[in-house]
Amino acid sequence: MGKELSESLARLLTEQRNPASMAMDRMSTEEILRLINQQDKQVPLAVEREIPYIIQAVELIVESFRNGGRLLYFGAGTSGRLGVVDASECPPTFGTDPTLVVGVMAGGHPAMFKSQEGAEDNPAQARRDVDAHGVTAIDTVCGIAASRRTPYVVAAVTRARELGAKTIYVTTNPRADFDFDVDVAICPEVGPEVLMGSTRMKSGTAQKLVLNMLTTTAMIRLGKVYENMMVDLQLTNQKLVERSKRIVMMATGVDYDRAAEVLTQAHGHVKSAIVMIKANVSLEEARRRIEAANGFVRGAIGENPHHS
């Protein structure tokens, strides 16, 4: 088993040695930093090449959301933590229910803060975790694993497929080597890490960029954004309260006091406040219009909400 695993890892691009960093232990601080930075510059270009597949993944997620389903991330280690972070940012940013986007990682909550030895090698627990989250055919499940082979993640995605869910897989090993049955594979090929096998670096950055794109684009497609502003954010702290007032001011042209007044009338709901001002309607009418426009502010104020 040990030898087989070693040979399997040896074949992974993410486990190769990077020729550019072979003398890294002899470099100055500045030389190391410039090397890391130079390698990091390759990451967004690798993600760009995967946009056709990211488009497909977003469409699956939007379909799930519109049908009452969810997006669930399953990962281990760095990959799992990135999924949890992305999921946890959705409620304050987009005003979503915490159950809409869920991050699940091998080892559970404690593994967010401290490595749980062996958790990523437990496929049986992965299947139990999928079942415990009640995954069904209207959900989309996204596995995240730099290596692609992580047993916990593979088992979670396999179980999700058995339950009829749509499946996405994010890995930083080449598409040519991807041999797993999912609806959409996203494979930004970032090359060997500066520090061999440390996939928290380029691989983690690529995964973070992809997850940002998945949820942000899906939320925009659901009407959570007006122009380029968050209009469904939750006013959970003073910074977000003040940001909400600024958004209302920028969207409508009213002054600070008027924005604060209408936000209060709208019970803190930015989207409603904007429609109340721009359409000169009551809160009740603003809510009716927003619902009729499927959540899009543009539609609620009489503009075409859809892209051409």
Q: Judge if 133 and 235 occupy the same domain.
A: no
Give the pLDDT confidence score for residue 234 in this predicted structure. 77
Single-letter residue type at 197: G
Q: Are residues 209 and 241 in the same domain?
A: no
**Residues marked as catalytic:** 89, 120
50-69 in b/e form (b: 16+ CB < 10 A) is beebbeebbbbbbebbeeeb
Asked whether residue 42 is domain-assigned, the answer is yes
User: Domain end: 187, 221, 255, which one?
Assistant: 221
Q: Total domain count for the chain?
A: 2
Both 213 and 283 in a single domain? no
Phi, psi (rounded to 5 degrees) for 260: -65, -40
How many Cα neighbours within 13 Å face the side chain of 251?
30
Residue 206 sits in a domain whose CATH number is: 3.40.50.10490
Based on the fold, state whether residues 39 and 175 are members of the same structural domain.
yes
> Tens place of pLDDT for every residue, the chain, 308 residues?
566 655 555 677 788 899 989 999 999 999 999 999 999 999 999 999 999 999 999 999 999 999 999 999 999 999 999 999 999 999 989 989 999 999 999 998 888 888 776 888 899 999 999 999 999 999 999 999 998 889 999 999 999 999 999 999 999 999 999 999 999 999 999 999 999 989 999 999 999 999 999 999 999 999 999 999 989 887 878 998 999 999 999 999 999 999 999 999 999 999 999 999 999 999 999 999 999 999 999 999 998 766 64
Q: Which of 221, 255, 271 is the last residue of a domain?
A: 221
Check if the beta carbon of residue 185 is closer than 8 Å to that of residue 53: yes
Residues 213 and 246 in one domain: no
Q: Specify whether 149 is located in the same domain as 194.
A: yes
Query: Is residue 99 located within the same domain as residue 26?
Result: yes
Within 8 A by CB and 6+ apart from 45, the residues are none
Give the domain CATH number at 275: 1.10.8.1080
Q: What is the 3-state secondary structure (H, E, C) of the chain?
A: CHHHHHHHHHCCHHHCCCHHHCCHHHCCHHHHHHHHHHHHCHHHHHHHCCHHHHHHHHHHHHHHHHCCCCEEEEECHHHHHHHHHHHHHHHHHHCCCCCCEEEEECCCHHHHCCCCCCHHHCHHHHHHHHHHCCCCCCCEEEEECCCCCCHHHHHHHHHHHHCCCEEEEECCCCHHHCCCCCCEEECCCCCCCCCCCCCCCHHHHHHHHHHHHHHHHHHHHCCCEECCEECCCCCCCHHHHHHHHHHHHHHHCCCHHHHHHHHHHCCCCHHHHHHHHHCCCCHHHHHHHHHHCCCCHHHHCCCCCCCC
Q: Which domain holds residue 294?
A: 226-300
pLDDT of residue 2: 62
Boundary (domain end) residue, out of 221, 248, 269: 221
268 with 290, same domain? yes
The terminus-to-terminus CA distance of the chain in angstroms comes to: 55
pTM attached to this predicted model = 0.90
CA pair distance 170, 206, nearest whole angstrom: 9
Tell me if 87 is assigned to some domain: yes
